[in-house]
Amino acid sequence: MPQRDYSHLSAPELIDLLKQRDAQAHFGLVWERDQIEKDKHLNDDFVGLELATELCHGQGPYKNLVIEGDNFDALRHLLMTHAGRMNVIYVDPPYNTGSTASNRQGWVYNDKFFDPNSRYRHSTWLEFMYPRLQLACDLLADDGVFMVSIDDTELYNLKLLLDRVFGPRNFVANIVWHNSTSNHPTRVTVEHEYVLIYTKKRDANPPEWKSAEHPSKALLLEIGEQLKREHADPAALQQAYTAWYRENKEFLGPLADYKFIDKGGVYAGSRSVHKPDAKGYRYGIPHPVTGRACKMPANGYRYPEDTMKKLVEGGHIIFGEDESKIVELKVYANEFLTKLPSVIDLDGRKGANELKAIFDGVLPFNNPKPTELMTQLLTFVSKPNDIVLDFFAGSGTTAHAVAKLNAQDGGKRTFIAVSSTEARLDGTEEEKQKNICRDVCAQRLRRVLPADNGGAFAYLRAKPILRHRLERELTNQVVWNAVCLAHQLPINKLEGPLGWVTASDGVAIAYPTGTKSADVAKFAQAASEHKGPVICYAWATPRFAAAVPRAQVFSLPETLLGNFRKAAVLLADAEPEQAAVAGGEEE
């Protein structure tokens, strides 16, 4: 909290100032900050990403990333390379329930487990979350979407905190996830959690989110193709489908109105030809059997008469048995789009069962989210080429869901999963040596993702380096990783004394690892063979700039350190003006 100097004020001036403050109405979230230990590495260091080649999956270059380490460190590095580029961020943070029944001693803060019995329990959780959420907001693209799971313990604090970070106007919804059924004796049976959703900029998002994916849709498409192969006669086709439909209607959910079939597939009637509000077009549509004009909607038709004639001629209009029924538009099941509901009914045990099946009957992580929940959310908020970030990745559910969704719709989404080394603790040395990111998150993804075809990933470790030791401890691979990511390029192992890659726009990115004459000559030779622009990161800027005058040469480590400082500036700018609550929060 910034300290202000009031020593120059007289006693009457101080009294006036206090009176003004007392008269001001305060609204919003405030929490104890002075009494809470700050993140110990807050902007007094640099964070690099080390490539652990032995833990990578498949062959590089890698677009998908699994990052081991404190997510605050990882986020600060990503801000240097991905600011404004994340399309979707989902997180499942610690719920701060105070329970240690899951073999986890609270949650990790400043490299140690936080005491759930602390009098500053809620304030420390807010202090833990605030800079991470601020960094998440800065990482999002303008049309990006942020989602976070939570329960009642911190729901209301989190909502106010997110309003502060994203702005109340960018709040989209609080989805209720009905995930359990409890028979425990209690006052009120709690059988749900929440997913809060925000946008980076509301106006940059589409006014309506719709998804083409629904289990019933896949079922209708499958039965439709099967019956079309078996029945060439239209009447027999409809009769066979009607029999199937009557037996399965109750399982079709929002597609329960799809009760017709023709050579185009399963379809339903939609009243989207009607003008729902203002007066529409008024004309007669002759019934194909009686020849009389069909009943007209109260507000007329949505389409001009010429458009309607084309729809009729193309077989896209459904008529009733006679002219007394208003016509409907034929909508095929493959065109179905569903809306994201505010209540999702999905058994939470599916997540644990899914993870146990992957790990041969052993549950290595408590309370994992089901991939079905994540795919359902992602179908609405993500596009086929999006980057999806989860910086509380845990067992890797979000990354797994991204891969599943890509398999469903042919997308090329990439994931960045940040998971900690925090292990389940039962007091044994074996348990203490476990590593959630390495042993659970990455291992899960290795078992379910192909090593090629978009499933490969780089395994990276977030490495904080004190600034005064930067030139000594900054490895060539860490530099190359940062350079590639900053230019939206996949990561690969650095081979030889010159890192060189050509981006899709024809710009060559170079990193000569040395400063000797041979290094300069190798860079000059590569540049001479490249006709496009050249960007170089070098430890001896003048020598490389002189060797290739047309190249844009950036100095190391100054360039990396300068870009990294953006996180410090953004976090400093985001400090709340009010920082304390009188009386504490002891319960």
- Over the stretch 201-234, which tens digit does the pLDDT of each residue have? 999 999 989 887 777 888 999 999 999 999 999 9
φ/ψ bin of 28: left (φ > 0), alpha (ψ from -120 to 50), beta (otherwise): left
Which one of 24-28, 117-121, 180-184, 417-421 scores highest in mean pLDDT?
A: 417-421
Q: Position of tokens 């017709």?
A: 260
Using alpha carbons only, give the angle 359, 52, 129 rounded to the nearest 5 degrees: 75
Nearest alpha-carbon partner for 104 in 431, 400, 356:
431
In a domain, 1, yes or no: no
Q: Which of 300, 319, 336 is the last residue of a domain?
A: 336
pLDDT band with cut points at 50, 70 and 90 for residue 99 = low
pLDDT of res. 172? 97
Read out DSSP for 287-311? -TTT-SBPPPPTT-BSS-HHHHHHH
Cα→Cα distances 1→81, 91, 572, Å: 28, 27, 10
Distance CA 272, CA 331 (A): 10
Using alpha carbons only, give the angle 354, 438, 422 rounded to the nearest 5 degrees: 90
Distance CA 564, CA 18 (A): 40
* Same domain? 435 vs 492: no
* Same domain? 69 vs 110: yes
Asked if residue 453 lies in contact with residue 60, where contact means CB atoms within 8 angstroms, the answer is no
The residue-averaged pLDDT of 269-277 equals 78
In a domain, 566, yes or no: no
Cα→Cα distances 112→39, 107, 220, 262, Å: 11, 8, 52, 64
pLDDT over 60 at 567, yes or no: no
pLDDT band with cut points at 50, 70 and 90 for residue 102 = very low
Nearest alpha-carbon partner for 191 in 161, 154, 160, 152:
152
Task: Give start and end residues of each alpha helix (H) in 172-316.
Answer: 215-230, 234-248, 305-313
Q: What is the CA radius of gyration of the chain?
A: 30
Nearest alpha-carbon partner for 82 in 141, 131, 146, 129:
141
Q: Which of 413, 441, 472 is the last residue of a domain?
A: 472
Distance CA 61, CA 489 (A): 9
pLDDT band with cut points at 50, 70 and 90 for residue 460 = very high
In a domain, 35, yes or no: no
Name residue 584's amino acid. Answer: G
* Same domain? 135 vs 190: yes
What letters, b where the CB count within 10 A reaches 16 and e where it falls short, cover 242-274? eebbeeeeeebeebeebbbbbeebbbbbeeebb
Nearest alpha-carbon partner for 153 in 105, 97, 91, 192:
97
The residue-averaged pLDDT of 322-339 equals 90
Cα 472–chain centre separation: 36
Please give the tally of structural domains in the chain.
Answer: 3
Structure tokens at 166: 């994203």
Least confident of 309-318, 399-408, 480-489, 558-567: 558-567
* Same domain? 50 vs 188: yes
* Same domain? 116 vs 145: yes
Give residue 518's domain range.
475-556
Structure tokens at 292: 């009389």
The residue-averaged pLDDT of 114-123 equals 75
In a domain, 582, yes or no: no
In a domain, 208, yes or no: yes
* Same domain? 104 vs 139: yes
pLDDT over 70 at 80, yes or no: yes
- Percentage of the chain beyond pLDDT 90 is 64
Using alpha carbons only, give the angle 578, 579, 583 rounded to the nearest 5 degrees: 110
Give Dmax over CA atoms of the chain in angstroms: 97
* Same domain? 58 vs 198: yes
Task: Write phi, then psi, for 153 (nearest 5 degrees).
Answer: -55, -45
Distance CA 526, CA 163 (A): 51
Asked if residue 178 lies in contact with residue 341, where contact means CB atoms within 8 angstroms, the answer is no
Q: How many CB atoms lie within 10 A of CB 560?
A: 23
Dihedral of the CA atoms 31, 32, 37, 41 (nearest 10)? 30
In a domain, 32, yes or no: no
Asked if residue 396 lies in contact with residue 419, where contact means CB atoms within 8 angstroms, the answer is yes
Q: Which of 445, 472, 499 is the last residue of a domain?
A: 472
Q: Starting at the earlier edge strand, list the strands of the sheet with 45-51.
A: 45-51, 457-466, 64-68, 414-419, 387-390, 86-91, 140-150, 192-199, 171-178, 343-345
Asked if residue 240 lies in contact with residue 217, where contact means CB atoms within 8 angstroms, the answer is no
Distance CA 68, CA 416 (A): 11
Nearest alpha-carbon partner for 396 in 373, 414, 415:
415
Nearest alpha-carbon partner for 382 in 149, 67, 90:
90
Distance CA 260, CA 241 (A): 7
pLDDT of res. 237? 96
- Percentage of the chain beyond pLDDT 70 is 87
What single-letter DSSP state applies at residue 2?
Answer: P
pLDDT over 70 at 428, yes or no: no
Structure tokens at 552: 């844009």
What single-letter DSSP state applies at residue 440?
Answer: I
pLDDT of res. 571? 58
pLDDT over 70 at 583, yes or no: no
pLDDT band with cut points at 50, 70 and 90 for residue 577 = very low
In a domain, 119, yes or no: yes
- Cβ-based burial of 304 (10 A; exposed 0-12, middle 13-18, buried ≥19): exposed
Average pLDDT of the chain to the nearest whole number: 87
Q: How many CB atoms lie within 10 A of CB 183?
A: 6
* Same domain? 146 vs 290: no
Distance CA 577, CA 347 (A): 42
- Please tell me the pTM assigned to this model: 0.79
pLDDT over 80 at 38, yes or no: no
Dihedral sign of CA atoms 149, 155, 156, 160 in order? negative
Q: Tens digit of pLDDT for each residue in 145-182?
A: 999 999 999 999 999 999 999 999 999 999 999 988 76
pLDDT of res. 170? 97
* Same domain? 240 vs 361: no
In a domain, 569, yes or no: no
Cα→Cα distances 196→72, 217, 386, Å: 21, 27, 20
* Same domain? 158 vs 269: no
pLDDT over 60 at 524, yes or no: yes
Asked if residue 123 lies in contact with residue 36, where contact means CB atoms within 8 angstroms, the answer is yes
* Same domain? 313 vs 252: yes
Which one of 26-40, 85-99, 110-124, 162-176 scores highest in mean pLDDT?
A: 162-176
* Same domain? 230 vs 189: no
What single-letter DSSP state applies at residue 461?
Answer: E
Least confident of 49-53, 79-83, 194-198, 249-253: 249-253
Asked if residue 224 lies in contact with residue 237, where contact means CB atoms within 8 angstroms, the answer is no
Name residue 149's amino acid. Answer: S
Q: Position of tokens 């896949």?
A: 218
pLDDT band with cut points at 50, 70 and 90 for residue 112 = low
pLDDT band with cut points at 50, 70 and 90 for residue 453 = confident
Which one of 39-53, 167-181, 269-283 scores highest in mean pLDDT?
A: 167-181
